[in-house]
Amino acid sequence: MFDSYVFTENSARNVTTENGSTAFQLATLITYYRGIPLSMVHAVEVVVDGCDVAPAELRISPNGTDWFTLDEATTVTSYRWEYGTPLTVRWLNGGLPTGDHDVTLRLKIRVAYIPVPFGGERTRTITI
């Protein structure tokens, strides 16, 4: 239902991180009509060229400044991910090589009154 919100178009790129290393980064919008605390992000999965990215190598940020591992995010209640605001997903991998890549982003969130996590998935072919 919210698959069109997942993996914001033209958001995928290599970036230089705060510590000077290179990472691959993309963005997504929330798959719900309201904001949620960051602790309600249930899962973020990235697949690049058919290979799953290890969750421990991913970081997420609700504001582009403060970064959290997926495990840390489960306890973060002081940050909210608001509707219409991108959540940035960063893979600490040294960046992707130049060329075309098939990238899939899967997102699951938990919300009040819905007993199971839900979300969306989108695959894009991106060029670095």
Q: Return per-residue pLDDT of the chain as tens, 128 residues.
A: 577 899 999 999 999 999 999 999 999 999 999 999 999 999 999 999 999 999 999 999 999 999 999 999 999 999 999 999 999 999 999 999 999 999 999 999 999 889 999 999 999 999 99
Q: What spatial distance separates the first Cα and last Cα of the chain, rounded to whole Å? A: 29
Distance (Å, rounded) from C-alpha 47 to C-alpha 54?
9
Distance (Å, rounded) from C-alpha 7 to C-alpha 3?
9
The domain total for the chain is 1
CB atoms within 10 A of CB 30: 26
CA dihedral 43, 20, 14, 23 (to 10 degrees): -30
Whether the pTM exceeds 0.85: the reply is: yes
Range of the domain at 10: 3-127
